[in-house]
Amino acid sequence: MLEEILKTRIMVKQSMKAYKHDKAITRMLEARQLGLKFIANFTFGYTAANFSGRMPCTEVGDSIVHKARETLERAIKLVNDTKKWGAHVVYGDTDSMFVLLKGATKEQSFKIGQEIAEAVTATNPKPVKLKFEKVYLPCVLQTKKRYVGYMYETLDQKDPVFDAKGIETVRRDSCPAVSKILECSIKLLFETRDISQIKQYVQNQCMKLLEGKASMQDFIFAKEYRGSSAYRPGSCVPALEITRRMLAYDRRSEPRVGERVPYVIVYGMPGLPLIQLVRRPTEVLQDPNLRLNATYYITKQILPPLARVFSLIGIDVFSWYRELPRIQKAASTARSELEGRKGTISQYFTTLHCPVCDELTQYGICNKCRRSHSSRCLITQPLCKSICCILLGRCTFPGSVPGQDSVLSNLV
């Protein structure tokens, strides 16, 4: 039964190559080969499960695992012991192995790979067959079942295909910005081998987010809502938290079971739990006091996946973020609105120190210093000469050029 399933799947995968230009047929064949793969996996699963299995037969499950491991170890030993290939197996799992060919070209890799496949097939009884699939040039092998590289499936293929398995570029549990930045960084690494260009790109993306210039669409999470009865009491799940707020406003707005609920993370008071910083995208667009939490997105979402890839070559991506200048944005609402009735907690606690007199204010420079500047220049006050001139956009220091910043601005 397993042999028939596997042969049918191989036949379907070969048919996909003949119809690669027809997307509709390719999608249909891809679904069929994936279904056959699941059937084969489930056949092993329910024979190996002796208590809950539909057809328990542990001898079948144990023999599949044992013979697969034995075949893989024999293949690895054959590759490592054959000196003419100069190959070394760096990773082997279940039914596949990655062979490192140091210094080999693409043509040499295809030739040696085909020889390895034929040699391993010849040493095993029928129907065991090792198939040579593809060449990665270059490639990053992160951990088990997580790798990425430029894939060549045939020798005459000129342009490689970006192929990733298990990393954030093909996963849906993070926001789109993580996938885009990681993919662009890896492509820069493969094409330029220049770390300085990758550093500049990552820092530019971080600065766009810190300055509030990034598109909110790229920072929206979407998690599945499983229904109110599927969660434990007191569960801190963003999709459930968003649903509770929606129900408090309108009892008819509960998402369907299985529907993905979008949300973003905003700034809040220090010490607040992350679950209290969850907001719907429409709330952030409607409330000018809410801003995307750039620190969270950079340090918890964007940099960790980059670190997992670039730490393999000794690069500390977190140091790139520490080198960036710190940006403190004042409230973006109009002054008349701030002086009016306060509506959110952030309006009560968001305070800045005046750079001239060090008093607490919400407007950058306090009103007292603004009024005093109308009659005299604040350059006479100690320790804040150049800062005053820059913030107010002009300087009356003797010798300065009217309409231009003071030379003292270089001291900041």
Q: What is the pLDDT of residues 171-217, one digit of tens each?
A: 888 999 999 999 999 999 999 999 999 999 999 999 999 998 999 99
The answer to whether residue 182 is domain-embedded is: no
Inter-residue contact 288 to 332 (CB < 8 Å): yes
Residues sharing a CB contact under 8 Å with residue 206, sequence separation 6 or more, in sequence order: 294, 298, 302, 320, 321, 324
Greater confidence (356 vs 182) lies with 182
Evaluate if residue 340 carries a pLDDT over 50: no
* Percentage of the residues of the chain whose pLDDT score is greater than 70: 82
167/142 Cα distance (integer angstroms): 9
The answer to whether residue 329 is domain-embedded is: no
365 & 317 share domain: no
The answer to whether residue 331 is domain-embedded is: no
Estimate the share of the chain in helix, then strand, then coil, as percent rounded to the nearest 5: 50, 15, 35
Evaluate if residue 401 carries a pLDDT over 60: no
The answer to whether residue 58 is domain-embedded is: yes
Please count the structural domains in the chain.
3
Evaluate if residue 383 carries a pLDDT over 80: no
Residue range of the domain that includes 159: 2-172
212/347 Cα distance (integer angstroms): 19
24 & 103 share domain: yes
110 & 222 share domain: no
Among 48-57, 180-189, 262-271, 373-382, which stretch is predicted with the lowest mean pLDDT?
Answer: 373-382
Q: Which of 114, 139, 172 is the last residue of a domain?
A: 172
The answer to whether residue 340 is domain-embedded is: no
Q: Give residue 403's pLDDT.
A: 40
Q: What is the pLDDT of residues 264-323, one digit of tens each?
A: 999 988 888 999 999 999 999 999 889 999 999 999 999 999 999 999 999 999 999 999
Q: Give residue 3's pLDDT.
A: 81
**Mean pLDDT computed over 365-381:** 61
**Mean pLDDT computed over 148-159:** 91
The answer to whether residue 344 is domain-embedded is: no
Inter-residue contact 112 to 87 (CB < 8 Å): yes
Evaluate if residue 365 carries a pLDDT over 80: no
Q: What is the pLDDT of residues 58-108, one digit of tens each?
A: 888 888 888 888 999 999 999 999 999 999 999 888 788 999 999 899 999
311 & 383 share domain: no
40/9 Cα distance (integer angstroms): 10
Give residue 336's pLDDT band: very low, low, confident or very high (50, 70, 90): very low
231 & 159 share domain: no
Q: Give residue 359's pLDDT.
A: 73
166/111 Cα distance (integer angstroms): 28
Q: Give residue 364's pLDDT.
A: 61
CB count, 10 Å around CB of 47?
21
**Mean pLDDT computed over 144-159:** 91
The domain that contains 227 carries what CATH number? 1.10.132.60
Q: Which residues of 327-360 are buried (b: 16+ CB within 10 A; e: fewer)?
A: eeeebeeeeeeeeeeeeeebbeeeebebbbeeee
Q: Give residue 339's pLDDT.
A: 40
The answer to whether residue 103 is domain-embedded is: yes
Inter-residue contact 240 to 229 (CB < 8 Å): no
217 & 160 share domain: no
73 & 154 share domain: yes
Give residue 348's pLDDT band: very low, low, confident or very high (50, 70, 90): low
CA distances from 237 to 161, 225, 256 (A): 37, 9, 16
Sign of the alpha-carbon torsion through 52, 56, 62, 64:
negative
Q: Among residues 54, 33, 34, which one has the least CA distance to residue 43?
A: 54
Amino acid at 211: E
Cis peptide bond upstream of 176, omega within 30: no
Residues sharing a CB contact under 8 Å with residue 199, sequence separation 6 or more, in sequence order: 320
18 & 132 share domain: yes
The answer to whether residue 327 is domain-embedded is: no
Q: Among residues 80, 85, 112, 87, which one has the least CA distance to residue 101?
A: 87
Mean residue pLDDT of the chain comes to 82
Give residue 334's pLDDT band: very low, low, confident or very high (50, 70, 90): very low
The model scores a pTM over 0.75: no
Q: Give residue 172's pLDDT.
A: 83
28 & 155 share domain: yes
**Mean pLDDT computed over 350-375:** 67
17 & 98 share domain: yes
81 burial via Cβ count (<10 Å: 0-12, 13-18, 19+): exposed
